[in-house]
Amino acid sequence: KLFGDKHAYVAAALNNGANAVSSSLTRREEALAMYEESLHILVDTFGTKHTSCAATICNIARCMVDLNRLPGALAKYEQALAIMVSILGDEHSDVACLRQRIGRILNKLGRPEEALLFFHKSLEARDKVLGDDHSTMFSLLGTAEALELLTRPEDALEAWIDVLEMRKRMHGPAANADTGAAMNSVGLTLVALERYTEALVYYRQSLAMCCNAVLNPDQHKSTADVYYNIAVAEERLGNSEEALVNYRKAAEIYEAALGDDHEEVSSTLNALAALLDTMDQPQEALQAWQNVLAVFQSVHETAGHEDTAYALNSLALALRALQRYAEALENHQQSLAMFLKVLPYPKRHKTVAGLYCNIAVAHDKLGNKKGAVENFQKAVAIYRRALGGDHEEVSSTLIAKAKLLFTMNKHQEALKAWREVLAICQRVYGAAGHADTAVTLNQVAGTLQVLGRHVEALDHYDQSLAMYRVVLTDPEQQTIVADLHVNIAATHEKLGNKEEALGAYLQATAIYQHASSDNHEALCGTFNTVAELLVSMDRQEEGIKYYQKAVVLHKRILGDMHTLVASTLTTIGMTYLRIEKPQEALVAFQEALTVLRAVYGADHEDIAKANHNVLLCFTSGFM
């Protein structure tokens, strides 16, 4: 009434009114409208190039930030900056402050490269005009945050240490929450650099300062944050028990500070449960996942949510670890139903494919192999749509399906699945070859052999061996190559190629001996197989030598008094009898009898058989 609608005093009153209501969450739109009306009056009164206009534009920008309208806020701050530079010049403290605010918004918008330019110009101006002052802190903070966003942890660490040193100069040695927060930030950056022991030093300093600087630290979020960070560092260092203690403390404080249903509580319980999974504490892990699920169900109620679905799946995995497969299956299925409801395009989502795999495993554990195969196939189809036909998740699921089909004696279907895996490997790795391709060639060959297609099997085994010799370092010292020689030898035996079989078995034994220092059960088995083959070739004396090698190795691995030692000694005795050497047979049979008496005592059917073998030496007509 006094000054009319277009007076500077009216604009000031509107500004003051907007300032009063802008702190209210529900009245920010109202504040924004008042700031904009004030700006119109100021522009009409003073023109666009006036500090009052710039200040009001800054208020509009701040209000937009509160409303999460960051692009609009950025445009307003840039408008205000242009006015302030034209009036005050490039190196004024108010201009530096505006650049710092623009930098913070650019960080939030994921544009850290641009943000750094504003922070650096802000710091340059402040150094010239003010030196090390309180307001410089915000530009240093923004610089550190931008460097983190740019994944430049070494530079970010340097910036955070600058922040910490400035905090110490500002606040002195006394406990201060801001100094504690800077210590925590240094710790986080050291963790990003995998310098976990150093990070713990800063975290513990931060925790001590927080506990002294804030009221009721056991009910304060910042204290919980530091306990959580300590837990992460301890876990990375392999100190699981210490990590567990700190996760629990963090969860307890988050609950006190934020309420039982806050996301910080659920994420901490998640980390706690995941750690328990790795610590072979399935019952405790199950309880932790039940707690996580309870939080999500309380927050989201019956509507369903991704978080609830993930928790159901994790709970199911914990039940599976406890061999409670029926309950695990039920929770996996509940998780799947929820994901199908809440995810966009769920039949193209890898999470859903992973759930079908989990359901398949549960069916398999419950003996429902047909249901398991069906769910593996659903997983394959979704992985192909979500990730592409040659993704490793596709091949790993096909491998699980192929192995399952093999146990069901569905060898033709298993072969088809292995050929699909082989085709993926050949497309991904090309003609140069790869260990995965070699493994798959071996699996294809094994399935062909079971189907009686020995010539094809041998061809695939040979391809696998050739590829291993290319891709492995020192292939003739690798047990996987020895295993392959055994497979090749067995296939040659099926084809009646005994000499070729013997050569391959002997190559296997040479590798096993070099790779395992003779102390390997695979070597025992191969010694026995070589002996059997030699005996079948009427080379009994040579065969006996390999049986004797098996006895020596059995004794080294299992001890002198073991049934396998007795069994091999009995085979040696029988072989000596066949070549009419009863005296040598008697020695072997008597040693076998001594072993069996040590194992079973005086009264056992195997001892009766051993006594009978001894008598054979006297009744064979050769004594």
The CA dihedral of 490, 492, 496, 498, to the nearest 10 degrees, is -80
Look at residue 130 and tell me whether its pLDDT is greater than 80: no
Tell me the pLDDT band of 25, cut-offs 50, 70 and 90: low
Which amino acid type is present at position 421?
V
Report the greatest alpha carbon distance in the chain. Answer: 140
Which tens digits make up the pLDDT trace of 159-216?
889 889 988 888 888 888 889 999 999 999 999 999 999 999 999 999 999 899 888 8
What pLDDT score does 135 carry?
55
What pLDDT score does 10 carry?
67
Tell me the pLDDT band of 41, cut-offs 50, 70 and 90: confident
Which tens digits make up the pLDDT trace of 457-492?
999 999 999 999 999 888 877 889 999 999 999 999
CATH tag, 472-545: 1.25.40
E strand map for 492-604: none
The fraction of the chain above a pLDDT of 90, given in percent, is 59
Query: What is d(CA 502, CA 486) in angstroms, rounded to the nearest whole number?
Result: 10
What mean pLDDT do residues 497-518 have?
88
What pLDDT score does 114 carry?
86
Least confident of 28-37, 412-421, 570-579: 28-37
Average pLDDT, the chain: 89
What pLDDT score does 5 carry?
53
Look at residue 91 and tell me whether its pLDDT is greater than 90: no
Which amino acid type is present at position 608?
A
What pLDDT score does 125 carry?
65
Q: Is 426 helix (H, G, I), strand (E, B) or coil?
A: helix
Query: What is d(CA 593, CA 10) in angstroms, rounded to the nearest whole number?
Result: 114
Tell me the pLDDT band of 1, cut-offs 50, 70 and 90: very low
Query: What is d(CA 218, CA 251) in angstroms, rounded to the nearest whole number?
Result: 11
Least confident of 36-40, 119-123, 338-342: 119-123
The CATH class for the domain spanning 559-622 reads mainly alpha
Which tens digits make up the pLDDT trace of 575-594?
999 999 999 999 999 999 99
Q: Which two tokens stand for residue 72?
A: 């609009």
How many Cβ atoms from other residues are within 10 Å of residue 452's Cβ?
Answer: 10
What pLDDT score does 476 carry?
79
Tell me the pLDDT band of 43, cut-offs 50, 70 and 90: confident
Q: Which two tokens stand for residue 237?
A: 């260092």
Least confident of 119-133, 206-220, 417-431: 119-133
Annotated domain spans of the chain: 472-545, 559-622
User: Are residues 509 and 526 in contact, defined by beta-carbon separation less than 8 angstroms?
Assistant: yes
**Rg of the Cα trace of the chain?**
38
Query: What is d(CA 241, CA 197) in angstroms, rounded to the nearest whole number?
Result: 16
What mean pLDDT do residues 559-566 have?
93
What pLDDT score does 2 carry?
41
The fraction of the chain above a pLDDT of 70, given in percent, is 93
User: Are residues 452 and 495 in contact, defined by beta-carbon separation less than 8 angstroms?
Assistant: no
How many Cβ atoms from other residues are within 10 Å of residue 127's Cβ?
Answer: 14
Tell me the pLDDT band of 3, cut-offs 50, 70 and 90: very low
Tell me the pLDDT band of 375, cut-offs 50, 70 and 90: very high
How many Cβ atoms from other residues are within 10 Å of residue 218's Cβ?
Answer: 13
| Nearest residue to 351 via CA among 320, 301, 312 | 312
What mean pLDDT do residues 300-326 have?
92
158-186 exposure pattern, b = at least 16 Cβ within 10 A, e = fewer: ebbbbbbebbeeebeeeebbbbbbbbbbb
- Top pLDDT among 135 and 310 is at 310
Residues sharing a CB contact under 8 Å with residue 622, sequence separation 6 or more, in sequence order? 580, 581, 582
Which amino acid type is present at position 237?
L
Least confident of 49-58, 256-265, 510-519: 510-519
Q: Which two tokens stand for residue 9?
A: 């005093």
What mean pLDDT do residues 420-443 have?
94
What pLDDT score does 446 carry?
97
| Nearest residue to 491 via CA among 442, 531, 536, 454 | 454
Chain mean position to CA 53: 53
DSSP letter for 239, please. Answer: -
Q: Is 99 helix (H, G, I), strand (E, B) or coil?
A: helix
Look at residue 7 and tell me whether its pLDDT is greater than 60: no
Look at residue 93 and tell me whether its pLDDT is greater than 60: yes
Look at residue 105 and tell me whether its pLDDT is greater than 90: no
